[in-house]
Chain A
Amino acid sequence: MNELFPFFADHLKDIGLRLGEHVRTVGVALLLAIPLGMGIGIALSRGWARRIRGPVFYLLGLGQTIPSLALLALAVGLLGIGVVPAVIALLLYSILPIARNCYTGIQSVPDAAVDAARGLGMTQLQILRSVQLPLAGAYIIAGIRTATVVAISAGALASLIGAGGLGDFIFAGISLYRPEEMLAGAIPTALLALGADFGLSLLEKRLERWRR
């Protein structure tokens, strides 16, 4: 344990580099997952989707139960190793919480608000943009928050398929049995997940308050 601080000090640059890789993989996946998930959530909230809503959510839910390590391993089988398969696996994994929360958020908007907007002569698109989505904001952020934590966690495993990230330290530390190296990966990974969760929870609370 005493070697921990010298190790951190000596490898500060490396830790920063791996952190950067981690944030990049997770960030790209989320940037793609947010519009996709919201698109699915919005589409399923429309009247015409009433029939397929249940089955689609059921299938997405089953997909979500597949462990992230298994999904990453399958991505290797199909797409090879590297950042791209990792991003795709993380992206697939992040869609469900975003889609489900976006849908629930839109459903939670009072009918009266939608009726009032329609009465003002707003089009469907305008209602979606200026009434439903803003009022669903807190739910959508909650979904993005879940997706972010899940993606940071899976991002640590993505090191195994050659995507870099903080997992590099943890896995190297485990296989060489070097506790200080494990901690050099584990502590920043845990802090990254907790920090992202906390930051997004603040945003969620602010949007919730704004809604009232």
Chain B
Amino acid sequence: MSLLDFLHEYDQSLLIALGEHLRLVGIALLIAVAAGVPTGAWIARGEHRAGPVLLAANIIQTIPSIALFGLMIPILAMVNHGIGFLPAVIALILYAQLPVIRNTRVALRAIPPATLDAARGLGMTERQIFLRVALPLAAPGIVAGIRIAATMSIGVAAVAAYIGAGGLGIFIVRGIQTTWDMMTIAGAVGIALLTLVVEIALGIVQRMLTPKGLRVRGGGR
């Protein structure tokens, strides 16, 4: 069976798996950004808070994904959600915290104090300054963090197929179990391609969000 025959035969299940994969990663990222960006902004304002928060995020990040699943399943099993979507989405949210929080903090702290003073001088409130000056200027840096989180999440979501969360990892699971290389390769190539597409797409978003005056390449006049 050639690769093309395989793709033809399994196009439906590949599409379903891709949809599951995107849904898992998408939901996790939305929640991760909603939690991580405010946390990053919070620690950017108080440097004494940065140490403990980043340390905690770093410890979570260091725990290997399959080990995190192995630790979470027995705990979530107590509320009858040991395997499936829930542990996968929680793990993805936890992993995404470090890049999102760290990049938000760095991007906000990189804004020149003079810019913020100028906004204050114009009579803007703190809230207006944050939403209309700081956040737009920090946006490319924040998106860079989301980009790292996204590629990482796609990889962890692949492993989550082993705990019943579905997604493209299913092809790797089945391929390895049945020693059918074609299936394994279809899953691996699908995940790798998805990662590359998302990585490049978010790179473009990052470039577009960069204010014209700050663009180094391809921007300007």
- On chain B, the residues within 8 Å of A101 by CB distance are none
Distance, CA A160 to CA B176, complexed state (A)? 8
Report yes or no: A69 in contact with B71, Cβ–Cβ below 8 A. Answer: no
CB atoms of A174 and B187 under 8 A apart: no
Contacts of A32 in B (CB 8 A): none
Q: How many residues of A contact B (CB 8 A)?
A: 41
Q: Do residues B64 and A73 form an inter-chain contact, with CB atoms below 8 A? A: no
Q: Per a CB cutoff under 8 Å, which of B69, B82, B156, B195 touches A170? A: B69
- Is the CB of B188 closer than 8 A to any CB of chain A? yes
Instruction: Using known A-B contacts A69-B158, A173-B70, A174-B69, determine if residue A77 contacts B64 with beta carbons closer than 8 Å.
Output: no
**A171 CA to B65 CA in the complex, in Å?**
12
Q: Which of B52-83 contact A (CB under 8 A)?
A: 59, 62-71, 73-74, 77, 82-83
Residues of A within 8 A of B69 (CB): 170, 174, 182, 186
Report yes or no: B154 in contact with A67, Cβ–Cβ below 8 A: yes
Interface residues of A in 51-83 (CB under 8 A from B): 62, 65-71, 73-74, 76-77
CB contact between B63 and one of A76, A171, A180, A193 (< 8 Å): that residue? A193
Q: Write out the residue numbers on chain A whose beta carbons fall within 8 Å of the beta carbon of B144.
A: none
Q: What residue of chain A has the Cβ atom nearest to residue B153's Cβ?
A: A67
Question: How far is the CB of A16 from the nearest CB of chain B, in Å?
Answer: 17
A73 in contact with B59 (CB, 8 Å): no
- Complex alpha-carbon distance, A187 and B67, angstroms: 7
Q: Which of A105-113, A136-144, A150-158 contacts B (4 or more CB under 8 A)?
A: A150-158
Main SS of the interface on chain A? helix
**B187–A70 contact, CB under 8 A?**
yes
Which residue of the partner chain, among B70, B155, B158, B192, contacts A185 with CB atoms under 8 Å?
A: B70
Asked if A186 and B162 make an inter-chain contact with CB atoms under 8 angstroms apart, the answer reads no
Shortest Cβ distance from A145 into B: residue:
B62
Q: Which of B69, B82, B154, B172 has the most CB of A within 10 A?
A: B172
Tell me, yes or no, whether B163 is within 8 Å of chain A by CB.
yes
Tell me, in angstroms, the Cα distance from A65 to B148 when the chains sit together: 9
Residue-wise interface mask of A (165-177) relative to B, using a CB-CB cutoff of 8 A (1 in contact, 0 not): 0110111011001
Q: List 27 A-B contacts (CB under 8 A).
A: A62-B196, A65-B199, A66-B191, A66-B196, A67-B158, A67-B192, A69-B191, A70-B172, A70-B188, A74-B188, A76-B184, A153-B64, A156-B66, A170-B67, A170-B70, A173-B70, A174-B163, A179-B73, A179-B82, A180-B74, A182-B69, A182-B73, A183-B70, A185-B67, A185-B70, A193-B67, A194-B62
Question: 6 closest Cβ contacts across the A-B interface?
Answer: A186-B70, A67-B155, A153-B64, A179-B74, A189-B67, A70-B188
